[in-house]
Amino acid sequence: MNPQPAPVLSLDRVGVAFRQGGLSLWPRRRFWVLQDISFDLYPGETLGVIGRNAAGKSTLLRLLAGIIRQDRGTFVNRGQNTALLSLQAGFVPYLSGRENAILSGLLLGLRRAEVEDKMQAIIDFSELGDFIDLPLSSYSSGMRARLGFAVAYQVDPDILLIDETLGVGDEAFQAKSSRAMHERIRSDRTIVLVSHAPGTIQGLCDRAVWIEEGMTRAVGDVTEVLAAYHDWITRRQATADGSIRSL
């Protein structure tokens, strides 16, 4: 029996707080977006993070990416390079598509030389052709989405963090980008995939974490975690329906 590999990321009772309010003579109150998050991420696995809107999923990704720091608890990154796949990061309307691709690539952690080396692949994947040298302001929303995905797809960190960006652009490009990202997820890369769609987590992930109101509710087998999440949602909806009928 092979021993369990050491985790590449570990979180133990992690909390992240934001300050509420603007300029004031009174102390600003802390609002805990993440209150008590604990789990490990192992090499080569795809870990799904499930939870309702405003559960703290996006804040968790920003923490894992190193964009923000925890206010309490322990977060350990064992020397891994992480990147948050963010579409259209840093796009500037008056710059050309090519210039925006370079800027976005830099913000996603690539070096300028790397972006320039990958430029033809970005142009080919985005299907922009000669439009790559026109100002971004002349692009449709679909063209911007295609460029953003093509740049983000070139990022190849130790750990890839994805926030439900599995399909963008028009119908044909959605299918193309979804296939590409599914191939990335099913590779041997280490990935954290955030979603509120149980089907996405079930189909793509090796393990799952359910977070609610900034707290870890369940970690482990995908089917078991999703069942616990579904049961909780069902009970919550039944309680809400009963309250409405009693009015």
With cut-offs at 50, 70 and 90, classify the pLDDT of residue 212. very high
pLDDT tens digits for range 74-117: 999 998 889 887 766 778 999 999 999 999 888 888 899 999 99
Share of the chain above pLDDT 70, in %: 88
Give the pLDDT mean for 134-163: 89
Give the pLDDT mean for 23-46: 83
Q: What is the 3-state secondary structure (H, E, C) of the chain?
A: CCCCCCCCEEEEEEEEEEECCCCCCCCCCEEEEEEEEEEEECCCCEEEEECCCCCCHHHHHHHHCCCCCCCEEEEEECCCCEEEECCCCCCCCCCEHHHHHHHHHHHCCCCHHHHHHCHHHHHHHHCCHHHHHCEHHHCCHHHHHHHHHHHHCCCCCCEEEEECCCCCCCHHHHHHHHHHHHHHHCCCCEEEEEECCHHHHHHHCCEEEEEECCEEEEEEEHHHHHHHHHHHHHHHHHHHHHHHHCC
* pLDDT score recorded for residue 172: 83
* pLDDT score recorded for residue 170: 75
pTM: 0.82
